[in-house]
Structure 1
Amino acid sequence: MLRKDRILEALRSMCAQRPAQSGALRRYAGFSAEDVADFAGVDRTNASRDLNMLAQEGKIERIPGRPVLFAVKLPSKEPLQEVASNGNRHTLQNGYPPGRVEYAHEVEYRQEVPLQVTQEPGKPPAVVASVHVGAVVTSFETLIGGGEGLKVAIQQAKAAMLYPPRGLPTLLCGPSGVGKTTFARLMHGFALELRALPSDAPFISFNCADYANNPQLLMAHLFGVVRGAYTGAERDREGLVEQAHRGILFLDEVHRLPPEGQEMLFYLMDRERFRRMGDVRERQSSLLLLAATTEDPNTALLPTFRRRIPMTITLPGLHERTIMERYELLRAFFTTECSSIGAHIHVAPQALRALLLYECSGNIGQLRTDVQLACAWAYLEYRTGNRSELNVHMGVLPDHVQRSLLRTAELNRALEPVLHLLESTHIFTPTGLSLDSLPESAQDLYDTISRDVGMLRRSGLEENEINRLLHLDIQNYFQRFANKVSHDRQGSSTNLVDERIGVVSRRIVQYAEERLARTFPEKLALVLAMHLTSTLEHMTHGRLIVEPVIQSVRHTYPIEYEVARMALLQFRSALGVSLPEGETDVLAVLLANADALLSS
């Protein structure tokens, strides 16, 4: 029996032992790749790969979330009947009346199946625009733009991965947000599929910017360290180069690697040998190097290092992609949000037009963030206003997106390929699509606190010690935002934040400075805005802290706590959104530790 068949049988057995669920409870009816791997007795990475392939083939259901779950498909039910406005009954296919177009599950996303505008009696024109499970981006064949803007890049990538004996070192170039990391993962997947790499070949990813201010720590992270190599090196530790043996090492922002690091890498590529920091003994590692940069490699990298990377692939920015590709990206992003929320999303024609036209300097990454933010505002309207439908209209779009409609006249020609679709509301329905086919390395603040408070209490620690550790959780969370602001250009970071949230965040910081008689670091307002944006997205998915879990904040930081409480009242007054009560604790800890976190 093939491994994939064994995985399928294991999932069927596991699902047979659990009652079938539907609707909102469907989220809890699946099993993670780790669960299935344990049950089937196979490696987790292989199980995850096989499960995603089975989902693409339509044999199982992929349930998005953290973690992604998998389940056998529910048996189809009897067709539903709907009473039309004229009193006649007709059968609903997949919950929709005849005439509306949906993609079949076996149709891959890249295949061009024309959408159709339909109109029911008494209703405005509509397009059923959802993308189905088969569209999960797990290979070059399902990558949007594979036949257009990315065609040359994909051909180069395939040639690089298939070149004997184990592929060509490759440099991916392009501005931030074009999808270099995703593209590198697809190169790894392609090599596994064509058996150009061993079936258990690892993909080790590292962002050199994370340790750019500490070259010694960066080198230790990459090449490993022996005990006593520097102050604090208390034990031998292997580096990423050793972990990537027989697989791929992907270095993002490789231009942040110091010259001595680049020299050690080209020695590794030449000889397949390296030394840990502080060690005299050479070790062996056979790997394929993939690297990415946003800079000009001719000026940002050593010539000797650059010459050892024969393949350079340039990924185009969003402004270089066709309008149809951008339209398909929007369809995928809205379907993903729709599947996460579990409700239909109606996108107004003007809102879709604005998303197609605005200047998206952060490329695909920013486009997705703006879609998420719009869905978050629409979801809040839907929940707090008891609306019958979740509507994405002009009012919920970020300000910089709304302004794009001022350019409609000059850009109308660019919209011609999709113009016939832009007069109709686009309806997105949950299909299980998730573009996050790989687990994320960091949990968000709420998940971290919820997880840690339970674990720490079960461990028997005193409550004051638990509270101290939770304070550190919050500080580490904001440190990640602070690092992002430092690494990104200021302009590109602010583009990821809705202007209304940015304005309110600046008012909150100004209010706190007046009340606390302190001057905060300049970047505090942006870090706070990024956190509040993340919180709204968290609320969209219904994962909230119902009550504050850090009871000591009010007593540890009484003045900051009161300022935080009043500041969040300002947020509610300005934007009409009530944040969880636990946000007072979070903001108080941020205000109390802002100098230490943000002054670097």
Structure 2
Amino acid sequence: MLRKDRILEALRSMCAQRSAQSGALRRYAGFSAEDVADFAGVDRTNASRDLNLLTNEGKIKRIPGRPVLFTVKTPSTGPLHENGSNNGSNGNWQSVQAEYSPVMVEDPPEIEYYHDVPLRVTQEPGKPLAVVASVHIGAVVTSFETLIGGGEGLKVAIQQAKAAMLYPPRGLHTLLCGPSGVGKTTFARLMHGFALELYALPADAPFISFNCADYAGNPQLLMAHLFGVVRGAYTGADHDREGLVEQAHRGILFLDEVHRLPPEGQEMLLYLMDRERFRRMGDVKERESSLLLLAATTEDPNTALLPTFRRRIPMTISLPGLNERTMMERYELLRAFFTTECSSIGANIHVAPQVLRALLLYECPGNIGQLRTDVQLVCAWAYLEYRTNNLAELHIHVGVLPDHVRRGLLRTAELNRALEPVSHLLEATHIFTPTGLSLDSLPGSAQNLYDTISRDLGILRRSGLEENEINRLLHIDIQHYFQRFADQVGTPRDAPTNLVDERIAVVSQRIVQYAEEQLARTFPEKLALVLAMHLTSTIEHITHGRMIVEPAIQSVRFTYPIEYDAVS
């Protein structure tokens, strides 16, 4: 018996043994090349080659996906879905798949795919379908892997999206919810890319995108764009024209702002999802289109959509607004946007720490879309200076920030704790190059406090902030200065004896004791050493003839009035 015949007999035996388990789950619809190879006792590569040959000869059926499955053409294997399944398909998709010519594709042996973890769909009485699934992709890299926040703020949404796209036989219709600017269109495109990479959709499956708000004022034209028209359907319809529903056949139709679709349009989509059939405007003939619907809305679907239409979409994914994302995610978004602009301009971009702080903290109601637009705006202003002054590189400083972004600096005190995950990154000027990002050397913890305050004072005054707000921001600089000292020095017992002058160390210890008596407090043990290091820096500052700027003293007086009075 030829090896190919042995493979065919092995597959027949396996299908006969599992016939009672045939059902909606894809893993019961066939067997992978590895399964058949183990059963027949042959090499996996040879088994895969023979299975593809048998498919070309029409003796077995190849089921696209990852892993690719094979089954014999017998009634026992059944279709990939059943009538009345959760996806509402009526069998047309199966006939569509049968039209594809088999392709000689072998599963890459280095890619691991855990297909034994099932996707489970449950439905509580009176509620939409809910997917309870754990999709393991192993080493397969998908387009979702590049999405910022994939391991944090968008983790749940991505898991839902993967489950929706992989659910047999061709995925679940999905509704994307979230405010404007959160990236619903981008997310839908990534879902399409993910399905293509894992062969959940045909290789030529189209992605047709349409914003229902574009024609919301003309429902007739909106319906014509979606479903097509026949000649004479209305004034101006002088020829037959196919709609987006036909163009999306065997692929994905993405409808943004779906709540702008009139009720009759929602009912026609409902009929399409149930029967995979529709009519062009003015036509009595039904046409066929098998597609996966992805819809997006900024409104509450419970009030903005017809209940029947809403219930027909089993998967709902909520995308968080920018204010719900972590500070590190927002920082990574800014890095990505500046890198993109740098590549477009073709020159290095220097971004000052205060600029990054403002972009991280300002109120951004337009979410990611507005954040990107604002980054482009500040780059445009900086580019104007770059060209008019013949500079070697672009420098983005507080002066080029729009007022609404600059006001983010006023929230520094309020949101200082939220900045902690990225605070160490905000001490450096960011230099974006067309190939990536480099950071200026971070300032050392013993950097002179007054030089820092003098520099920041000039920047803040040029930004137009009021003096009381400047004092608050300088106060934060002072706190950071002392905190860096405290983080990097140990207790006095562990500190090097030559770190500070012994006389200054003694004076510092007495000052701390005096402060504890006057304020009735107990201070950390290392405070005396931190104070001694600060006094050493101050003496050096005065020795070189550099005066202490008045706002620095006023900031201390303004922020710590009781402590200031105790030492006056």
Cα distance in structure 1, aligned partners of 2:373 and 2:433: 20
| Equivalent residue, structure 2, for 1:314 | 318
Output aligned runs, 1:40-51, within 5 Å.
none
Give the superposition deviation at 1:432: 8.6
**Is 1:402 the equivalent of 2:406?**
yes
CA separation of 1:236 and 1:432: change in aligned 2, threshold 3 A? farther
Who is 1:270 aligned against? 274
- 1:376 maps to what in 2? 380
Report whether the alignment pairs 1:355 with 2:339.
no
SS in 1 for 2:431: strand
Partner Cα distance (2:290, 2:391) in 1: 58
- The structure-2 alpha-carbon separation of the partners of 1:209 and 1:138, relative to structure 1 and needing over 3 Å to count, comes to farther
Q: Which amino acid counterpart does residue 312 of structure 1 have in structure 2? A: T
Segments of 5+ residues of structure 2 without an aligned counterpart are 1-140, 438-568
| SS in structure 2 of the partner of residue 401 of structure 1 | helix
Between the two proteins, the alignment pairs up a number of residues equal to 297
> How many Å apart are 1:138 and its aligned residue?
7.8
Shift of 1:160: 0.2
- Deviation readout 1:113-143 (Å, 9 max, x if unpaired): xxxxxxxxxxxxxxxxxxxxxxxx9810010
Is the 8 Å Cα contact of residues 150 and 315 (structure 1) preserved in structure 2? yes
SS at match of 2:434: coil
1:169 to 170, 173, 176: 173
Mapped pair 1:339 → 2:343: yes
Structure 1 residue aligned with 2:416, among 412, 416, 434? 412
Partners of 2:273 and 2:392 in 1: CA distance: 60
- Taking a change above 3 Å as real, the CA distance of residues 432 and 231 of structure 1, as seen in their structure-2 partners, is farther
- Residue 579 of structure 1 is matched in structure 2 by none
Residue 249 of structure 2 corresponds to which residue in structure 1? 245
Aligned residue among 374, 389, 393 for 1:389: 393
**Structure 1, unpaired ranges of 5+:** 1-136, 434-600
Equivalent residue runs for 1:201-600 within 5 Å: 201-431=205-435
CA-to-partner distance for each residue in 1:313-360, whole Å, 9 max, x for gaps?
000000000000000000000000000000000000000100000010
Aligned to 2:164: 160
2:326 aligned partner, one-letter code: T
Change (3 A) 1:415 1:383: same
Counterpart in the other structure of 1:195: 199
RMSD between superposed Cα atoms in Å: 1.3
Amino acid at match of 2:154: L
Aligned-pair identity (%): 91
* CA-to-aligned-CA distance 1:294-314 (integer Å, 9 cap, x gap): 000000000010010000000
Distance 2:435 2:205 in 1: 32
Deviations 1:387-424 (A, max 9, x none): 23210111111110001111100111000011011111
Give the Cα separation in 2 of the matches to 1:284 and 1:313.
28
**Letter paired with 1:349:** P
**Matches of 2:435 and 2:353 in 1, distance apart?**
22
Using the TM superposition, give the Cα deviation of residue 386 of structure 1 relative to its aligned residue in structure 2, in angstroms: 1.7
How far, CA to CA, are the matches of 1:268 and 1:169 in structure 2? Answer: 12
Residue type at the aligned position of 2:321: G
SS across alignment from 1:343: coil
How far apart are 1:194 and its partner, in Å? 0.4
CA contact (8 A) 1:225 1:279 kept: yes
Deviations 1:523-571 (A, max 9, x none): xxxxxxxxxxxxxxxxxxxxxxxxxxxxxxxxxxxxxxxxxxxxxxxxx
Structure 2: distance between partners of 1:355 and 1:426: 13
One-letter code aligned to 1:319: N
Q: Is the 8 A contact 1:339 1:432 kept in 2?
A: no
Runs of 4+ in 1 over 3 A off after TM superposition: none
Q: Please tell me the residue identity of whatever aligns with 1:197.
A: L
| Counterpart residue identity of residue 186, structure 1 | L
Contact 1:336–1:432 (CA<8 Å) still a contact in 2?
Answer: no
What letter is aligned with 1:382? Y
Change (3 A) 1:204 1:432: farther
Map of 2:494 onto structure 1: none
Tell me the amino acid that sits aligned with residue 373 of structure 1: L
Letter in 2 for 1:383: R
Give the SS at the match of 2:377: helix
Tell me whether 1:181 sits opposite 2:189 in the alignment: no
> Match for 1:365: what amino acid?
G
Counterpart amino acid of 1:225?
V
CA contact (8 A) 1:379 1:390 kept: yes
Residue type of the alignment partner of 1:176: S
Instruction: Judge conservation of contact 2:201–2:251 (CA < 8 Å) in 1.
Output: yes
Which amino acid counterpart does residue 427 of structure 1 have in structure 2?
Answer: I
Which SS does the other structure have where 1:144 is aligned?
Answer: coil
Structure 1 residues 353 and 302 mapped into 2: Cα distance closer, same or farther (>3 Å)? same
Shift of 1:430: 0.4
AA partner of residue 188 (structure 2): A
Contact 2:378 2:400 in 1 (8 A): yes
Q: Given residue 317 of structure 1, which amino acid in structure 2 is its aligned partner?
A: G
Tell me the secondary structure at the aligned position of residue 251 of structure 1.
Answer: strand
Note the 1:65-80 alignment, pairs <5 A.
none
| AA aligned opposite 1:140 | F
**One-letter amino acid matched to 2:281:** M
> Is the CA contact 1:344–1:427 (under 8 Å) kept in the aligned structure 2?
yes
Compare relative contact order (CA 8 Å, sep 6+) and give the higher one, 1 or 2. Answer: 1
Q: Distance in 1 between matches of 2:142 and 2:236?
A: 41
Summarize deviations over 1:233-274 as a string: whole Å, max 9, x none. 000000000000000000000000000000000000000000
Between the aligned partners of 1:429 and 1:341, the Cα distance in structure 2 is 10
SS in 1 for 2:412: helix
- How far off its partner does 1:431 sit? 2.2
**Distance in structure 2 (CA, Å) of the matches to 1:267 and 1:398:** 49
Task: Give the structure 2 partner of residue 147 of structure 1.
Answer: 151
- Once the two structures are superposed, the pairs formed by residues 24-173 of structure 1 within 5 Å of their partners are 139-173=143-177
1:26-63 CA distance string (max 9 Å, x none): xxxxxxxxxxxxxxxxxxxxxxxxxxxxxxxxxxxxxx
CA deviations 1:425-460 (Å, max 9, x no partner) are: 000000299xxxxxxxxxxxxxxxxxxxxxxxxxxx
What is the distance in 2 between the residues matched to 1:341 and 1:388?
13
Paired with 1:354 and 1:205, the residues of 2 have a C-alpha distance of: 35
